[in-house]
Every structure is written in C-alpha cells, then in structure tokens.
Chains A and B, each alone.
Chain A
Amino acid sequence: MDLSRRNFLKFGGATAAGVAVGGRGVDLSPVEAAATSLKLKEAKVARSVCPYCAVGCGQLIYSKGDKIIDVEGDPDTPHTLGRLCPKGAATIQLSNNPLRPTKALYRAPGSERWEEKPLEWMYEQIAQRYYDTREKHFIEKEKDKNGDLVTVNRLEAIASLGSACIDNEECYLLSKLNRALGIVYHEHQARV
C-alpha cells in the first residue's frame, strides 16, 4: 500500500490534514481559509494538549461525530500562543491513520503471525500471566544484611516500563498497581 501523503489524504479522506501541516505559521490561501472556517463552524471543539514534546502546546481539536477533522494551536495558551511545530501539526494522524491497529493482537510462542483476539480474552490471559508469575516468584521474606529474616513483599519476575506518553492519572494508577503487586523493576523514559 502506497501511503505517501497525497494518497493518504485520499485514503483517509482527511482533507483537513493538509491545512493542519501549515498551521498558523503559513499564510493560507483565501480559498483554503474559507473552506476551513466553514468546515470548523459546524464542528465540535475540544481543548487539548499536544502529545509530543514537553512544551505542552495548547491545541483545539475539531471533530464531527467520532472523526477528528482538524487540529490547531490554541491561541489563548499563554506559553505557546497558538503555535505548533511540525509534529504538533501532525497530531491528527495519530487518530486518523489506517496503519493504526484497532483490534487486540496475540502472538503465540514461536508463531509467525499476529491473531486478532477479543479484548476480554486478552485481559483474562494477561491477568492470568500476572497471577501465575507472581505466585511462582513472589519474595515475601528474605534475609537482611544481618542475616535476620525480614518482610520484603517483592516481585522481581515482572518488569514494567513506561510511560512519559500517558496521562498523570494513568501514571498514578500504574504506580499504584505495580507497587501493590510488589513490582520493583518499575521505570519509564525519564531514566534514559
């Protein structure tokens, strides 16, 4: 499948994408500008934050139904004043993208392919792996430096990595879950 931008636009039907690349830094031709404002007039707008670097540029996300039609810099944002860089201006393709898997995928040991699986099945399997690994490898007590047996409640057989790309609330939930299970290999991108 050839997915150059031109074909991509046709493919995804996301005519707004071309406009978003220009963003506020480019003087849109009057025709494009008129088309944009007309299209956005009927759209729903959500206030958002750019998901790329940590400058945290404010974004306005325009959508119709469950389709995002445009992403722009939010001019009210005091520290970014509505500007976006090329990555921020491409945010729409994180959502509208035919390369994006929308089903849960499973790859069996030694298999040469992915298989689509129901989400519930996946969750059940994953929970069972966590449970079995924890039950088999949990370290409840061990000797300290003085040779005394002390409670450590630690699980070393499961590691967790990520993420600086998820929300604060999600980070907190993952910290809580990992620590409550005893996980100590617990890291994200800030370390590297």
Chain B
Amino acid sequence: MTTNVIDIQNSDVIMATSNMAENHPVAFQWVMKAKERGAKLIHVDPRFTRTSAAADVHVPIRSGTNIAFFGGLIAYAIQHDLYFKDYVVHYTNASFLIDPEFKTATDLDGLFTGFDPDKRTYDRTSWKYQLDAEGNPKRDLTLKDPHSVFQLLRRQYSRYTPDMVERVCGIPKVKFEEVARLFCGNSGPEKTGSITYALNLTQHTTGVENIRSLCMLQLLLGNIGRPGGGVVALRGHANVQGATDLELLYHELPGYMAMPLRDVHPDLKTYLEKETPKGGYWVNKPKFFVSLLKAFYGDAATKDNDFGYDWIPKRAKADAYSHQHIFVDMYNGVIKGFLADGQNPAVGGPNAKLARAAMQKLDWLVVKDIFLTETADIWKAPGVKPKDVKTEVFFLPAAPAAEKDGSLTNTMRLIQWHEKAVTPPGDVTSDAEFFCSLAQRLQKLYAGSTKNRDKGFLGANFKYGDNPREPDMQLVLREINGFATEEIADKDGKVVYKKGQPLNTFGHMTDDGKTAGGCWIYTGVIVEGPDGKLLNKANGHKPADEKDPLGHGWGFAWPANRRILYNRAAADLGGKPWSERKKLIWWDPTVPGAEPDKKGKWVGLDVPDFNATLAPDAKNGDKPFIMRTDLVGGFFGPLVDGPFPEHYEPVESPTKNPLSKTQSNPVAKVWQVPDQMNNLASVGSADYPYVITTYRLTEHHLSGVMSRYLPMLAELHYAHFAEISHELARELKIDNGDMVTVMSPRGKIHVKAMVTNRLKPFIVDGKTVHQIGVPWHWGFNGVEGLPGSKGDITNDLSATVGDPTVFIQETKAFLCNVKKGEV
C-alpha cells in the first residue's frame, strides 16, 4: 500500500474494487469517516455486497474485465481534460519520447511491437525511451509529440470508449459515465481520490497489468503521494506483507533483490552490475546486497569469497519454482520432500485436486500448523485409500501469535510487535523454534563437511539467545535491521557504531562487509536506546493525536517510518503544498538544513520519502519517485506482456474479445499437466457456459484453518454455498437452499444454492452472460457436530494457468456449469 488506512478519511472520492466492508471491516471505518466528511464511495464489484450497500454508486462488472474499465477511465480523463496536468508533466514519464518503432495495441490489433507467435514472447527492443547525446531521455513538456508517452497512452486507450466498456464489462454506458465523472472529476490541487483493491485484481492472467492500470489512473489524476490519494492494497493475511518483504518467494531475496539466475548472474560482480540501475535510490543496491550476504553467512562471508555469493542457489530459468510450478513439478516427481508451514495447499491454492494428487506422491511431508489441516491429512482425503499413500507425514503443532513474541507487518507496511501472552501447551512451539532446531540439527549432520557447498550453511547462525526452546526474537529482528560487524568510525576517527550495534538507517549500510542486515527496508525498526539496550520501535505504542494524525509513534512503517510513499509529490515543483487542503510535506527554507550555512528542509505531517535536505530547485529536487531509475512515475513501464495494460479475456471466457482479435493474454502461462489434470474450457463453451468467481466471507479465513476449527466462527455459516442470481436459478429450476453441483473441466463440488439479488446477469456484447460466486473456505476437516464447518473444496474447480510476470493463478474469472442436485 502506498498510503496508510487512516489517510483514507482525507479522500474526496474512494473507489473500492474489492469487498472491503466484509473482508477488511475494521479498515473500512476510514472509508465511512471519509463519507461523513463528504466523500463519495464507488463500489466496482460483480456482486452487490455490504460494501455496495454503503456506497453512493455500485458498478457491477463482469469478472476479468478490469483493464477495460480502468482503460475506459484513463481515456475519459484524457478526453475530458480531467487529468492533473502539472503533476503529469513533471512527476511522470508522460513527456518522455519513445522509440518511433514502438506501436500500441491499438495499431496491432491487441498486440504490441515485437510479438513472436511461435515463442509466445515479446522482443522488447523498441519498448524504450529516445535518448539525447548525453544518454538522458528526450522529453516534450507540451506532451504533443506523437511519440511521447502521453500521446501513446491516448492512442492505446482511444478504443476504450464508454460503448466499448459497456460491451466488454457489461456496465451500462450511462453508469460508466456517471462514475467516470465522479472519480475523474475529483482531481487537481484541491482534490484527491483513492482506490482499494485485493485479490479481485490480482488473481487473473492479467493480474500485474490490472494493478498497473489502476496505478496509471492514479498517476494521471495526481493521486499518488498525496493525502487522500494512493493505491490501497488490502492484503489478506496478518503477515503477507512481511513474508513478502522477507521474501518467502522464489524470485527474490529479502528486500526486493532478484534471486540470481544461472545464465545472467554467474558471479557477484556481474550480479551487481546487472541489477544496480544507474539512477534512483537503487543505486545503493550493492550495499544492501552485501549486507544481506553478511547477515546470512556471518564470518564465513568475506571479501575474498565474494561474501559467499556462490552459496546463494542459482535459478535455472525465470519460468520456474513458483507456487503453481511446485505442484506441477511435484506431480511429475521432481520434488521428493515438502514443508507446508502455516499454509494449506490441499484447499487454498489453484487446482487443489492437482495439489493433493501431487502431495500424495511425495516421499515425505512436514506440516507445521495450529490445527490438523487437510494438507496434513492428505492421506485420508475423501476417495483416498490411506494404504495407497506412501508419503511419510510429520505434523508439528504450531503456536499462534498470542503464544510468542514477534512482529507482523500489516497491509500499510506497519511493523507491529506482539508480546507473548502465555506459554504454548504441550509440545506446541513457535515456527522460529522449529526452524532453529532443524537448522542446528542439520548443522550437526554436516559438521566436518569440507565441501565448499556446505560452508555457507555451516557458517550461518541459527542461535539467538540462551534458551534453545525459545529463540530471542528481538535478536533476530536486530539481524534483519542490520548491525555493524566491526567498529565503524567516521573520517575524523570518531566511533559511529560499536561492533554489533544496530544500524539507525539503511543509509549507513556499506558494501565492504562492515555492516550486515537481513532486509534493508526494515533498518531503523530496532536501534540502540540511550541506555545502551535495544529499543524496539515495532513495540511503540503512542496513539495518534492532532499533531501526528498518522501515528508515527505506533509501530514502525518501512521504509524509515514513512507513512505515505512518494510524498514529495504532495508538494508542487517549488516545494509548496499543491493546496492548503491537501498539504502533507513541504520545503521550509528557513529551518536548519544539511550544513550550518545551508538552510532548508522538507517538513510536515510525515517523514519525507525523499532526501530531507534536497532543495526543490536542486538537481532532481523536483522528482518524487525516488525508487525509479528515471525518478518519475511510469505510464510506460515494460512488463513482459506490454508497456501498457491491454484488455484480454480470461483464459476461460464466455465470449470472444470484443476489443481485438487477440483473445487472451498472448504470453499467459498455461501449464501442460499429464493425466488430464488441467483441462480447459474453450471460448464460449456450451458445456461450461457460466462465469465463476471465488470470494471470501467475514466470518471465515482463507482456507479455513483459522476459522473452521473454531466453533465461535464455524457455526456462523451453516453450509458451503454457491451464490446464484434469481435469473439463472429460474432457468435451472433451482430453489434457494437446494443442493447443486458446480463443475469445471478440472472437477466438481456439491454445495447449497444461495439464490440472491446480489448477482445479476451481464449483457456482454449483446449476449446474456451469467456469473456465479463461490466462497472457498471449506475443506473436509472441521468441527464434529457442526456440519457447516466442512464442505467441498472450491479450488478443485480452478485451473493451473498464470500471469506471465508473477505466475499468479486465474481464480477470479473462469468457466463452470451448474446443475441441480448432486451429479
């Protein structure tokens, strides 16, 4: 999230694209607060939910057509001159000129320049800026050059008219124009709007481009870095942000640095050359990367061995190792052993039937969780004979947050500490205890190994404090934060850091091994207090007040306790707030600055996400987007599927793409899986005529591990269900409460029909399209005596297909059939 949920109250208009009132109800209070202050709420969702009930306008949208909708808004804002011109000209790459060879999807019928139909990839040579003699991008501040990003943007979205939005999304033109006026009309120095999203936008084969399209709309309207603006990413797990920052993800290392590729990054020097951009704050990457290697491997990482770079495994290729790759490769026998730690893929991931079949082929499986999940019980799933499953299974009971110390990073990058309230019962332990115990036992098994490949692991520390049963989590946080590996003195010989002292800022990290730090963006979260002890800012509990409405004394938001990212954009070129109403940080030329004789500093209501003493008239003092190489927000930003988002139909779609001849994302990932484990429905399939979307309920949590076993929650829904419109129910002669079968080419489930007014058929390109909704919290385990706590696994219906950049699955829009009764 670029912003902070508290700041939503400052919005003049909010576009909720997820079901925020039900899925993030406590954060939704800030939307209601904004409404009390006069803001309008738009809800864009296929279903009418409690978010819609609180909204000024509900816009039903066919699942899988978000880019057509956002593209329509971009076109509308440009055509009606509603964009924030000063912001767009100076703070984005709209004025940059692109290679004349580049053509938009408007010119090439849904494709961009460079498509290779055989390889299904793009040659991206022409997707680049024109450079001047000094190597700087050429610009046209009038935005009139036909090769300017702005003119290409206009051209790209020229097809996205209100009529086209109606044909693709099923949103009546009049309704689209109403919300376009409302949202785009709240732009400029005095106004801002925010957009919320969740998995509604990500779980698509155009997932990343969906998010880009909303970010582009926000840039166009000047809504990034300003109060009441922003991209409100609403995450679903308590620590999905932290687990991403600390990179439990195949493609990166902690702090958003690429996991090396065999053919691209053979050694440290090459890695740093290729991965360090020439501009923007990432020029410091070598310091962050070397500090990470030192944190991992300790004294074993030295300058002479490239700080242990060889020990970091090298990926064989980019298209490998993601969640969906795991279960395809496990099914194919590549993976023999598997750790499922606090995750339940037997229920929670796409094509869950494939995931279960794959896990039943493992040699061994370790599950660490609070309850016995369907993943742990994989050998007794319905229809499975235990004796046929040769997998050896180890189940380790896990402690919930209340029974251990540690920190969680919430959806607004806020790191908050939780204290251990009670000791866990019996043999229940924290995950940290398990990881440290496992690591230390393995180190014993490897003790004495002289192989180079084992030396990094043997050098890595897994002892934190004196109690092996309870590793000291503040010491782990200190390692993440970063510390001096030896005494560090300034140029006058004055000691700045003692050996072992935690670093105050990532600005102090070095690339010579003198600092270690496991995740540079977290630096500053734990420092040395005046008493010489660790001062854990994640454990800060100062409430917000009038002077500090964003609550900087409560927890610590990465990076550097900044609550609204890119907040330099809240001021104009000269450093003054765009308006009194929307002030956040500004340049104060009168206060002490960088040097005694050089006054001036960025001050205000937030920590500047900018060099605090870089004057607005200094070089790059007017460029807020410090993490980007070119320091400006990017409308043109090459991903693997295009520099601009383009609407494609989902891989399984009820209709031909009304916008172009390019039906679905031409570079989407579609896995071939043996034994017909990943069959797909054809476009407009008569066997699978309905669109299905999956969703979540307030009273349940994700795959149900933290709700189906809790009577207080499990009793609140009496059965698993499919939500069906009255119109479709009439056609199929289904009554509310009937058992129905929902089937896809991958599987089928038996659930109750919930017939409601909350879903309505869409008119898509002149044809009626029915859509159903099915929550996915159920599995075959639950509370005995509460039949509603168990149910069929919705993800047995979804397919193994993925977005080409990040390989997320398409569970928000695919095809199904519905039949009355259990068939």
Contact = CB atoms under 8 A, between A and B. Distances in A.
A12 to B, nearest CB: 9
Given A54-B410, A172-B480, A97 B709 contact: yes
A112 interface: yes
A152 B316 contact: yes
Given A130-B438, A166-B239, A99 B248 contact: no
A78 to B, nearest CB: 3
A166 B238 CA distance: 8
Contacts of A30: none
Contacts of B303: none
Contacts of A137: 336
Given A114-B395, A119-B427, A173-B462, A184 B432 contact: no
A175 B243 CA distance: 9
The A interface is mostly helix, strand or loop, or mixed, namely mixed
A181 to B, nearest CB: 6
A177 B341 CA distance: 13
B316 to A, nearest CB: 7
A122 interface: yes
A93 B438 contact: no
Contacts, number: 500
Interface string A150-192: 1111111111111111111111111111011111111111111
A50 B321 CA distance: 31
Contacts of A169: 406-407, 432, 473, 476-477, 480
A68 B396 CA distance: 22
A99 B348 CA distance: 21
Contact of B427 (A102, A114, A155, A174): A102
A83 interface: yes
Most-contacted residue by chain B among A95, A144, A170, A189 (CB, 10 A) = A170
B386 A158 contact: no
B427 A173 contact: no
B137 to A, nearest CB: 31
B706 interface: yes
Contacts of B330: 159
Interface string B221-255: 00000000000001111111111111111100110
A109 B389 CA distance: 7
Given A84-B26, A168-B242, A192-B349, A180 B786 contact: no
Interface string B319-347: 01111011001100011111111110100
B372 interface: yes
A94 B713 contact: no
A182 B441 CA distance: 17
Interface residues of B, number: 171
B435 A191 contact: no
B238 A190 contact: no
Contacts of B386: 110-112
Most-contacted residue by chain A among B401, B446, B460 (CB, 10 A) = B401
A168 B406 contact: yes
B246 A81 contact: no
Interface string B535-558: 000010101100000110010000
B364 interface: yes
Q: Which 7 A-B pairs have the closest CB atoms?
A: A56-B410, A163-B342, A167-B406, A102-B426, A78-B551, A164-B237, A162-B343
Given A158-B335, A161-B326, A168-B477, 13 more contacts: A47-B418, A54-B236, A54-B410, A55-B411, A79-B414, A87-B707, A94-B402, A118-B427, A130-B337, A168-B242, A174-B341, A184-B321, A185-B335
21 contacts: A1-B784, A4-B715, A49-B238, A53-B235, A53-B236, A77-B543, A78-B544, A79-B410, A79-B551, A93-B713, A102-B427, A111-B386, A133-B337, A154-B313, A161-B338, A161-B341, A163-B243, A163-B431, A168-B406, A171-B247, A176-B296
